[in-house]
Amino acid sequence: MFQAAAPLAPYAVLGVIAIMLVFFTTEKFPPEVVALGGVGVLLATGLLDADSMLSSFANDAPVTIAAMFILSGALVRTGFLANLTSRFQRAAEKGNRGVFSWLMGLTATASAFVNNTPVVMVMIPIVMGIAAKLKMAPSRMLIPLSYAAILGGTCTLIGTSTNLLVNGVAVANGMEPFGMFEITALGLTLTLVGGAAMLVMAHFLLPDRMTLAGMLGERKSQRFLTDALLNPGSPFIGKRVGEIETFRKRDIRVVDVVRNERSQRHRLDTLVLEPRDRIVFESSMAEVLSLRSEASVQLAPEGLSEVGQREAVVVEALVAPNSSLIGTELRHQRLRRRYAIYILAVHRHGENLGRQIGEIAPKAGDTLLIEGAADDVKRLSEEMNLLNLTEPAERGYRRNKAPLAFAVLAGVVLLGALNVMPLSALAVIGVGVVLFTGCLDADDAFRAIDGRILVLIFSMLAVGAALEKSGAAALIVNGVAPWLSGLPPIAALLAVYLMTSIMTELVTNNAVAIVMTPIAIGLAHQLGYDPRPFVVAVMFSASASFATPIGYQTNTLVYGPGGYRFTDFMKIGIPMNLIAAAITVTLVPMLWPF
């Protein structure tokens, strides 16, 4: 193992962190991979010892976060969140546009107590359905949905994983833990003022954008997927698909050619047809019927009676953070053979990723355009953890357990507020209750946990340990403190807030929170101030990420479904960031004196 010289250790640690930030920003690798790789480098160079790395597992924040994921999953699985939205859907059917404001209020309230990622996942298809009923573009509603969840999450300690992480790091640095509702006054003010400003700005600044599925038009719902076998002697043999006049004149779109049980879709443009090729095409029912008399093709063995049961639907699906599709190229997923569906397009960050779809490895937040039979699409969505954006998922909710799931979460919140025992212990007890009472089963519980976030958190806690033990945090504090020593304390508070906010827009917020919290504490001690207001500034600035779609996971989730461009977030997000900064920096000294 290499050992960095002690005097150079702080600089070496900062160098590793700087490289990690570059990789975080470029998104060349998933955040959890970058974080884990950074830990590996620190261990290999002796900048982080094994004991310090293992000490990150003693932090109770990740345990609390994992448990809250499961409790949130119980509310989703029992249909509790879906039940709350039913009244809004009925109001939308009557053309009541005021339902949008109430829906944002519901989202913010739910996000104060439930992890905001599942809240937004549940709400996206519902909001898109309401937008359709109100004849509004979903792009008018989805950014406000994400922002409402972000604002609501600032209202309680359990509102976001960021709050829990900052609290955990603060406790590890000798501070008293935050109470369940200690930040509520500030969070509620920010939610009310920021929410009102958001709704006004959304009306003027957000664009009308078509969704990916909407671009295909209504005709898709009346078209069908059919297989046809190319008979020997067919005039199609020896021709490329694009050269066949019959297909062009009849508005038949070839989706795939299967040869020897292998899809040739990746080379449709250049493929020369051969006898016994199986052509998969999409067309109207009239064209399917007319092909029955063609000697050049033979309808596949399922026969015409099956064609009507294979009505092709085209849906948008969002790749959830825990989707099984993430990280593996689509051509290796064998989706056509396993589910009889076709991926028509993949959109990421508002852009089509191109024609070579098979070479794309999906990421969380990608939008897929899927074509296939409705049952096959549903099965794919359920097994691969995709969110059907075209319509809310129909599944067997355990509705009779919904009151119990809510009561368990309420009990955790109430007992946590009364400091009966540590929040992590209460959350674990709550998980045991919802599992033993059947609110959700073990498989549902594991699906509810976002393992990637936990890997990121544990890795960044180890990086934070290296930052402190190497003296890198002290190096930063000693470099910044002289510049702020002659200024009012509110200037130092603003500096901490802005530094955290800018980094959060470029890097995942949990990583920034873990790195910035010990720096904020050290800076406060160096300047002779109480560190609590500075820690609150980190907590809020790391959560209030509005200006980019990559700073906060809920922004990433609405990016594709809304058809947004990067600049759409900046138009409304930068003013929101400034509003959040002004409110936080003004109120923090009043609530937590220096």
Choose from 13-17, 343-347, 529-533 the range with maximum mean pLDDT: 529-533
**Given a cut of 80, is residue 137 above it in pLDDT?**
yes
pLDDT at 195 over 90: yes
The CA distance from 103 to 126, in Å, is 10
Q: How far apart are CA 344 and CA 558, in angstroms?
A: 20
What string of DSSP letters covers 424-488?
HHHHHHHHHHHHHTTSS-HHHHHHHS-HHHHHHHHHHHHHHHHHHHTTHHHHHHHHHHHHHTTS-
Whole-number percent of the chain with pLDDT over 90: 29
Q: Which residues contact 381 (CB under 8 A, 6 or more apart)?
A: 317, 387, 388, 393
Instruction: With beta carbons less than 8 A apart as the criterion, state whether 380 and 341 touch.
Output: yes
Report CA-CA distances (Å) from 493 to 183, 405, 526, 532, 589: 16, 40, 13, 11, 9
Q: What is the mean pLDDT of the chain?
A: 82
**pLDDT single digits (tens) 349-402:** 767 665 566 778 888 888 887 877 788 888 888 888 888 877 655 556 778 888
Asked whether residue 309 carries a pLDDT value surpassing 50, the answer given is no
pLDDT, tens only, 176-185: 999 999 999 9
Residue 583 — pLDDT band, cuts 50, 70, 90?
very high
pLDDT level of residue 2 (50, 70, 90 thresholds): very low
Q: Which residue has the higher pLDDT, 397 or 546?
A: 546
Q: What average pLDDT does the segment 528-548 reach?
A: 93
Taking a C-beta distance cutoff of 8 angstroms, is the pair 24, 506 a contact? yes
Instruction: Name, of 145-149, 281-285, 320-324, the range with top average pLDDT.
Output: 145-149
* pLDDT band at 295; cut points 50, 70, 90: very low
The most confident of 75-89, 102-116, 456-470, 574-588, by mean pLDDT: 574-588
Cα–Cα separations (whole angstroms), residue 266 to 155, 217, 263, 473: 50, 25, 8, 51
| Helix (H), strand (E) at residue 389 | none
Please give the biggest Cα pair distance in the chain.
90
* The pLDDT of residue 518 is above 60: yes
Contact status, residue 144 vs residue 191, Cβ threshold 8 Å = no
- Looking at residue 306, its pLDDT comes to 31
pLDDT at 488 over 70: yes
Q: Between these two residues, 484 and 265, which has the higher pLDDT value?
A: 484
Tell whether the model's pLDDT for residue 93 goes beyond 70: no
More confident residue, 522 or 228: 522
- CA nearest to 334, candidates 342, 326, 346, 322: 342
Coil vs helix vs strand at 170: helix
Residue-range domains of the chain with CATH: 232-302 (3.30.70)
Q: Model-level pTM?
A: 0.79
Six-digit token string for 348: 């990421």
What is the secondary structure of 553-575 as a DSSP string? HHHHHHHTTTT--HHHHHHHHHH
Degrees, nearest 5: CA angle 430-432-433: 65
DSSP state letter for 295: S
What Cα–Cα distance (Å) separates residue 11 from each residue in 6, 15, 48?
10, 6, 13
Give the pLDDT score at 501.
Answer: 92
- Band the pLDDT of 275: cuts 50, 70, 90: confident
pLDDT at position 509 is 86
Question: Looking at this protein, which amino acid is placed at residue 48?
Answer: L
- pLDDT for position 431: 94
pLDDT of 313 reads 73
**Lowest model confidence (mean pLDDT) among 201-215, 292-306, 468-482, 523-537:** 292-306
Give the confidence band of 128 by pLDDT, cuts at 50, 70, 90: confident
pLDDT of 572 reads 93
The answer, yes or no, to whether residue 152 has pLDDT greater than 80, is: yes
- DSSP at 206: -
Collapsed DSSP state (helix, strand, coil) of residue 165: helix
pLDDT in the model for residue 350: 65
Judge whether residue 559 has pLDDT over 50: yes
Whether the predicted pLDDT of 524 surpasses 80: yes
Which residue type, as a one-letter code, is found at position 137?
Answer: A
pLDDT at 581 over 90: yes
pLDDT at 396: 60
* Helix or strand (DSSP H, E) at 11: helix 9-26
Asked whether the predicted pLDDT for residue 210 surpasses 70, the reply is: no
What is the predicted pLDDT for the residue at 211?
62
Which tops the pLDDT comparison, 263 or 403? 403
The answer, yes or no, to whether residue 296 has pLDDT greater than 80, is no
pLDDT reading at 442 higher than 80: yes
Q: Quickly state the pLDDT bin for 7 (edges 50, 70, 90).
A: confident
Does the structure show a pLDDT above 70 at 283?
Answer: no
Can you give the pLDDT at residue 540? 96
Is a pLDDT exceeding 50 seen at residue 221? no
For the chain, how big is the Rg over CA atoms in Å? 27
